[in-house]
Amino acid sequence: MKYNKDNWHGELEPFWPNDVIDKGIIASIVLGFFFAVAFFYPALFLPPEIPADPTTTPLAVKPEWYFLAAYQTLKLFPADKLGGELAELMGMGVQMIAITGLMFLPFLDRSPEKNWRRRPYFLKLVFAGLGVFLILTVWGAISGEVHWGIKF
């Protein structure tokens, strides 16, 4: 139904410009309130401030569990033998190769079979990847070795 001022009796309201302007005003008021609170009272919702000590590092610095495999991959290459930057570069390179392989997997696996249970190479690759991820995650969780002078 086309909007016409002559036959409009109040049962419909056009989206443009009425509704857009109404919602825009409401959004502007809410955002203005949030920006005012963030600008004038930044510590309103924060816990009491504890002064930071940049000279000490906590001993138990570990990432969350879902990053433990990537963290352990970085620790696989010894920094004392390879040099810190080369070891980090190799650890990140291994992770980038794995991610690139996952990105190209649909293009490399051209099997016409749709059922994943009947694709043996795909299944072997998936289970190998999951196994490596689980092993690295558990290894990173129980790791107590010294890495770059910090005991984890």
Q: Please give the model's pTM, rounded to 2 decimal places.
A: 0.53
Instruction: Compute the distance between CA of residue 105 and CA of residue 118 in angstroms, rounded to an integer.
Output: 16
Residue 38's CB is within 10 A of a number of other CB atoms, namely 11
Give 69: exposed, middle or buried? Use CB within 10 Å, 0-12, 13-18, 19+: buried
The pair of three-digit structure tokens given for residue 73, joined into one six-digit string: 């991959």
The pair of three-digit structure tokens given for residue 142, joined into one six-digit string: 């129980």
Instruction: Compute the distance between CA of residue 3 and CA of residue 150 in angstroms, rounded to an integer.
Output: 71
Residuewise pLDDT in 10s, the chain (152 residues): 565 666 666 667 778 888 899 999 999 999 999 999 999 988 888 777 777 777 776 666 778 888 989 989 988 888 778 877 888 899 899 999 999 988 888 787 777 888 878 888 888 888 999 999 999 998 988 876 544 444 44
- Those residues with Cβ within 8 angstroms of residue 125's Cβ, 6 or more apart along the chain or in another chain: 105
Distances (CA, A) of 47 to 42, 56, 57, 133: 11, 22, 21, 36
